[in-house]
Amino acid sequence: MPKRIESHEEAISGIENVRQYAEMAKKSAKVMYGSFLKHIKSLSVGGGNYLEVGAGTGILAAMIAEDDPDVHITAVEISSDMVTVAREYIEERKLGGRIRFVTLDATDEELMEELGEFDLVYSILAMHHWKDPEKVIGNLLKVVGAGGVLFIHDLRRVWWLYYLPFRGSGFIDSIRAAYMPDEIKSIFQRLGINRYEIKRRFPYFMQSIIVRK
Ligand SMILES: C[S@@+](CC[C@H](N)C(=O)[O-])C[C@H]1O[C@@H](n2cnc3c(N)ncnc32)[C@H](O)[C@@H]1O
């Protein structure tokens, strides 16, 4: 298995960089975020309170809220610039009443617990950025309410992308920083959790972790 290479770009910062990222993300909204929405709907959580972790530009949160009027979303993000841009987008979509963005580092146990309990806690394309995934996952599990679901969807460190001779490509760097199922299993073992699923997803450099409480 190729060795994991940490990606130090934990947060995209600088309002102009964030705006550029948001424009790029909007272009892939239908295809990419559409597939994330499908995965989330397949969990059959229905309406309720959702928590999105590493919520970026707010595009997915908006899609989810527009899809189901009974969903309320708290979206947490470590980058305050990202939160500024996301809030503008949420206002533009007139979803301010159902989506709130909070600047917060998901490793912060106290602040995470203050958010309350949720029917669904989900995170997309963020886990490979977490400096301490065990801490973050532990925090996320604590805020999933009884009968609720934790869903983490992220890249997988596949060798056929890992070894492509690209340097400084955000996507390939992220692949190199992503986790393999055995590493995820070790994290869950250390957390004392043994009921969860790791599913490989199309396109096969993606995977999901699902925990039902
Ligand atoms: C690759 S982006 C994905 C954003 C969004 N989920 C999407 O799919 O467009 C990862 C996001 O996670 C955020 N992030 C990284 N570490 C975090 C942490 N510890 N707590 C909260 N957000 C974090 C980054 O700032 C970044 O916006």
CATH code for the domain defined by 32-212: 3.40.50.150
Query: Whose alpha carbon is nearest atom 9 of ligand 1?
Result: 56
pLDDT per residue as tens digits for the range 60-118: 999 999 999 999 999 999 999 999 999 999 999 999 999 999 999 999 999 999 999 99
Portion of the chain with pLDDT greater than 90, in percent: 88
Residue-wise pLDDT for 166-175, tens only, equals 877 789 999 9
DSSP class of 208? E
| Ligand 1, CB cutoff 6 Å, lining residues | 10-12, 25, 53-57, 60, 76-79, 82, 105-107, 124-126, 129-130
> Do the Cβ atoms of 85 and 16 come closer than 8 Å?
no
Q: Which of 78, 102, 136, 154 to mutate to test the pocket of ligand 1 (most atoms within 8 A of CB)?
A: 78
Q: Predicted confidence band at 7 (pLDDT cuts at 50, 70, 90)?
A: confident
CA separation for the pair 123, 109 (Å, rounded): 17
Query: What span, in angstroms and rounded, lies between the C-alpha atoms of 138 and 134?
Result: 6
pLDDT at 169: 78
Q: What's the Cα-to-Cα distance from 31 to each of 35, 37, 100, rounded to whole Å?
A: 6, 10, 25
Segment 121-131 shows an average pLDDT of 97
Contact 99, 75 (CB under 8 A): yes
Say which DSSP state 168 is in: S
pTM greater than 0.85 = yes
pLDDT value at 13 more than 80: no
